[in-house]
Amino acid sequence: MSSTASGKNGTWRNWGGTVAARPAREVAPASVEELAAAIRRAAEDGLKVKAVGSGHSFTSIAATDGVLIRPQLLTGIRHIDREAGTVTVEAGTPLKRLNVALAREGLSLANMGDIMEQTVSGATSTGTHGTGRDSASIAAQIKALELVTADGSVLTCSEKENPEVFAAARIGLGALGVVTAITFAVEPIFLLTAREEPMPFARVLAEFDELWAENEHFEFYWFPHTGSTNTKRNNRSAGPEKPVGQLAGWFEDELLSNGVFQVAQWVGRAVPATIPAIAQVSSKALSARTYTDIPYKVFTSPRRVRFVEMEYAVPREAVVETLRELKAMVERSGLRVSFPVEVRTAPADDITLSTASGRDSAYIAVHMVKGTPFQRYFTSAERIFTAHEGRPHWGKIHTRDAEYFAGVYPRFEDFTALRDRLDPDRLFQNDYLRRVLGA
Q: What is the pLDDT of residues 317-335, one digit of tens each?
A: 999 999 999 999 999 999 9
Residue type, 76: G
> What value does the mean pLDDT of the chain take?
92
pTM of the model: 0.92
User: Per-residue pLDDT for 257 more than 70?
Assistant: no
- Alpha-carbon distances of 276 from 182, 221, 263, rounded to whole Å: 45, 16, 15
> How would residue 286 be classed by pLDDT, with cut points 50, 70 and 90?
low
Q: Cα(207)–Cα(436) distance, rounded to whole angstroms? A: 36
How far is the C-alpha of 172 from the C-alpha of 62, rounded, in Å?
Answer: 12
Determine the average pLDDT of the residues in 134-157: 97
Confidence band of 283 (pLDDT split at 50, 70, 90): low
Phi, psi of 231, deg, nearest 5: -100, 155
Q: Is the pLDDT of residue 7 over 70?
A: no
Q: Does 304 or 396 have the greater pLDDT score?
A: 396
Average the pLDDT over 109-122 and give the result: 94
pLDDT tier, 17 (very low <50, low <70, confident <90, very high otherwise): confident
**Which one is predicted more confidently, 170 or 334?**
170
The pLDDT value recorded for residue 3 is 38
239 close to 293: Cβ distance less than 8 angstroms: no
Closest-CA residue to 51 (of 39, 41, 34, 59): 39
Give pLDDT, residue 306.
83
Residue from 140, 157, 172, 174 nearest 353 by CA: 172
21 vs 254: which has the higher pLDDT: 21
Question: Would you call 78 helix, strand, or coil by DSSP?
Answer: strand
pLDDT at 439 over 90: no
Query: What was the pLDDT predicted at 93?
Result: 97
| pLDDT at residue 260 greater than cutoff 90 | no
CB of 418 closer than 8 Å to CB of 164: yes
β-bridge mates for residue 157, sequence order: 145
Neighbour tally for 95: CB within 10 Å: 26
For residue 139, pLDDT beyond 60:
yes
Give yes or no for residue 2 having a pLDDT over 50. no
pLDDT at residue 227 above 50? yes
- What is the per-residue pLDDT across 394-431, written as a single tens digit (0 to 9) for each? 999 999 999 999 999 999 999 999 999 999 999 999 99
**Residue 338: pLDDT band by 50, 70, 90 thresholds?**
confident
Question: pLDDT category, 265, cuts 50, 70, 90?
Answer: low
d(CA 252, CA 263): 15
